[in-house]
Amino acid sequence: MGLGISPAAAYDRAITIFSPDGRIYQVEYAFESVRRGWTTLGIKGKEGAVVVVEKRKISPLIDDKAVQKIFKIDEHIGASFAGIASDGRVLVDYARKLALEHRFYYDEPIRVEYLAKQVCDVKQAYTQHAGVRPFGVAIIFIGVDDDGPQLYMTEPSGRYLSYYAVAIGEKSNNATEFLEKNYKYELSIHDTIKLGILTIVNVMDGKPIPENIEAGYIDIQTQKFRIMKPDEIREYLEELEKEGKIKK
The reply to whether 167 falls in a domain is yes
Residues spanned by the domain of 48: 24-242
Question: What are the CA-CA distances from residue 118 to residues 19, 51, 68, 115, 126 (Å)?
Answer: 28, 21, 23, 5, 13
pTM value is 0.93
Q: What average pLDDT values come out for the chain (248 residues) when binned by 10 residues?
A: 53 83 91 96 98 88 86 98 97 98 97 98 94 95 97 98 98 97 97 97 87 96 96 96 85
Integer Cα distance of 44 and 163 in angstroms: 8
Q: How many domains does the chain have?
A: 1
Residue 8 lies in a domain: no
**Would 12 be classed as within a structural domain?**
no
Q: What does the alpha-carbon distance between residue 56 and residue 105 come to, in Å, rounded to a whole number?
A: 40
Residue 13 in any domain: the answer is no
Residue 99 belongs to domain with CATH number: 3.60.20.10
In a domain, 201, yes or no: yes
Asked whether residue 247 is domain-assigned, the answer is no
In a domain, 4, yes or no: no
* Residue 1: predicted pLDDT: 40
